[in-house]
Amino acid sequence: MSFGRLERSERPQPMSDINVTPLVDVMLVLVVILILTAPLLASSLRLDLPQSSAAQPVQSARSVSLSLDAAGQFYLQDRPLSDADGARRLSELAAIDPQTEVQLRADARVPYGRVVQVLGLAQQAGLSRIGFVAEPSTGSSASP
């Protein structure tokens, strides 16, 4: 009659290697999220900016983006506002720092009178540093 082995078998050793598969999965999900959200971080307001051969990007220490679309709608930091709300917000920005630069982005089809009206709002608020944003010319000859 056999009772089996009397000697004890050795237990399996614990695994000492790090399983990197979950780490790789999490990193791939983060990369996909980054790829999907990166275009949303850019300006979502589409404007047909005028072109100029002298257009050069300039970075200011403190600036605010003021945009006008083709219909003349007022946007501050890509948020649509009425003229009264925009003037109030510009006054708040001027109270914080009167040297804040206003970067004006106006669609090429906006009437000149509307551009002057919005410039007046910025100047009445106390912001006198105003920069006009334009697209660099793509051709060798300058457009009028």
pLDDT digits (tens, 9 = 90+) for 21-59: 989 999 999 999 988 887 766 656 666 666 666 555 555
| pLDDT class of 131 with cuts at 50, 70, 90 | confident
Residue 2 pLDDT > 50: yes
Topology (CATH) of 51-136: Nucleotidyltransferase; domain 5 (3.30.420)
Per-domain residue ranges of the chain: 51-136
Between the alpha carbon of residue 100 and those of residues 45, 47, 60, 82, the distances in Å are 22, 23, 8, 21
Contacts of residue 95, Cβ cutoff 8 Å, sequence gap at least 6: 126
